[in-house]
Amino acid sequence: MHEPPLSGGTVRRLWVGEAELYRQHLLRFDAESRRNRFGGAVSDEFIGRYAQSELRLLEHAGDAEAALSVERAWQSRGVGTALLERVLLAARNRQVGRLHMLCLAENRRMQHLARKFDAALSFEAGSVMGEMKAPDPTPMSVMRERVVDGTDLATAMLDVPSQLAKRLDSMNGPPERRRRDRRYERLMLVDNWR
């Protein structure tokens, strides 16, 4: 159950225009994770439409819903905990009083995670509803989010050249040639970015 903990990773927001990255992430899910994430089997087409839709607040003012997805290779390494921590900070600073999370009754890992953040869980017909209360925002909690958002932006900017480099690598002929030229491609991409 316990994998080596995650180190050196960062949590950042997806920006407008990155829906495709989100779609690819959801499509990489194994069948069990997909079922756990969506509460049942869903098609690739469903995922395509889902990834395009925007985040919406629930009808009841002050309520929001959170859903997490971590790919199999990264599960049980603290990523979900880091994500939920950030979601709670964002909810708190937007005065979302209650954060709802819905998962299948057999999804023990998600329930364990919700309990770590003091969620009240209610069980109903094969599913579990977790409800968390976000405390009121404070100047410190707002400042904390600004600091991590600033780091997000820097990370996203640094990520662009490496994403471009990966694409260029895959377009650039046989492995021998790619290996020989890689150093120069990366330098060129960094220069372009500046």
Ligand X SMILES: CC(C)(COP(=O)(O)OP(=O)(O)OC[C@H]1O[C@@H](n2cnc3c(N)ncnc32)[C@H](O)[C@@H]1OP(=O)(O)O)[C@@H](O)C(=O)NCCC(=O)NCCS
What are the residues binding ligand X (CB under 6 A)? 1-2, 33, 36-37, 67-70, 75-81, 101, 103, 107-110, 112-113, 116
Q: How far is the CB of 31 from ligand X (least distance, A)?
A: 11
Least distance to ligand X, CB of residue 24, Å: 15
Cβ proximity to ligand X, 99 vs 161, nearer residue: 99
HSE value, Cβ hemisphere, 13 Å, CA-based, for 138: 5
Q: Which residue's CB comes closest to ligand X?
A: 80
Q: How far is the CB of 51 from ligand X (least distance, A)?
A: 15
Residue 80 C-beta: closest distance to ligand X, Å:
2
Q: What is the DSSP string of 60-108?
A: STTEEE------GGGTTTTHHHHHHHHHHHHHHHTT--EEEEEEETT-H
Pick the closer one to ligand X by CB: 27 or 154.
27
In contact, 70 and 28? CB cutoff 8 Å:
no
109/178 with CB nearer ligand X: 109
User: Please, what's the b/e burial string for 31-62 (b: 16 or more CB within 10 A of its CB; e: otherwise)?
Assistant: eebbbbbbeeebeeeebeeebeeeeeeeeeee
Q: For residue 118, give the amino acid letter.
A: D
Rounded Cα gap, residues 52 and 100, in angstroms: 22
The residue among 86 and 109 lying less far from ligand X, judged by its C-beta, is: 109
Q: Which is nearer to ligand X, 76 or 141 (CB)?
A: 76
User: CB 156 → ligand X: shortest distance, Å?
Assistant: 21
